[in-house]
Amino acid sequence: MRWLGLYLRSRRVPLALTTAAAAVAATWALWSVFAETPTISPRLLSLTVMLAAVAFTHTLNGADDALDRTASINWPVRRAGHLVVTATAIIALLFATATTDARFEPLALVLRDTAGMLGLTALGAALLGAARCWIAPLTWTLVTVLPFMGPSPNLNMQVAGWLVQPAGTTAATVCATVLAVSGLLAYTLRGGPPRPAAETAPDH
């Protein structure tokens, strides 16, 4: 399993996991102290999921573009596995609070928001590169958490504000699913765009 350890270190996964865990812990602590209800609000859940997903952006590419495209490694399978494990890690961090006084719930909402947000991040990585893929999830989340973007019977609002719609909202679920599948396919098949040589050159 030495290759796994090398892979995780080269992708800065331990740092990303620590950062994501810190974001979840900070939200949990603030809600525990200041809120009177146990269920963390959908807006805070959205922000937390976004921060956790963004924490993993730099794990979506390695230091060497040529190595990431070598035919000797089945990169599509590895990239797909990377996303699935990342989603699992984020969901596990959120559900570690299930038995505490402040909880991320319901499960359907956590799964929907995590899948859609990570898919959006992966789609950004495939189109813009890992260094810039945080732009889309950050922008969409900041728009979604605005006061007028709450639960709505309007279809357009349900799509635009899919992150904060109640669990079981069909339009929000479809939007999240489309983002998740599109991001998974785009990142799995393409990886990221080639970077300038200056960005991948070793430090001296």
Confidence of residue 114 (pLDDT cuts 50, 70, 90): very high
Q: Is the pLDDT of residue 201 over 60?
A: no
**What integer best gives the mean pLDDT of the chain?**
86
pLDDT digit string, tens, across residues 139-185:
999 999 888 888 889 999 999 999 999 998 999 999 999 999 999 99
| pLDDT given for residue 3 in this prediction | 63
Q: What is the per-residue pLDDT for 171?
A: 95
pLDDT tens-digit map of 119-149: 999 999 999 988 899 999 999 999 998 888 8
In this predicted structure, the answer to whether residue 200 has a pLDDT above a threshold of 70 is no
Place of tokens 């635009």: 160
Tokens (6 digits) for 71: 């035919």
6: left (phi over 0), alpha (psi -120 to 50) or beta: alpha
133-172 burial, b at 16+ Cβ within 10 Å, e below that, comes to: bbebbbebbeebbeeebeebeeeebbbbbbbbbebebebb
Residue with tokens 């200041």: 34
pLDDT of residue 149: 84
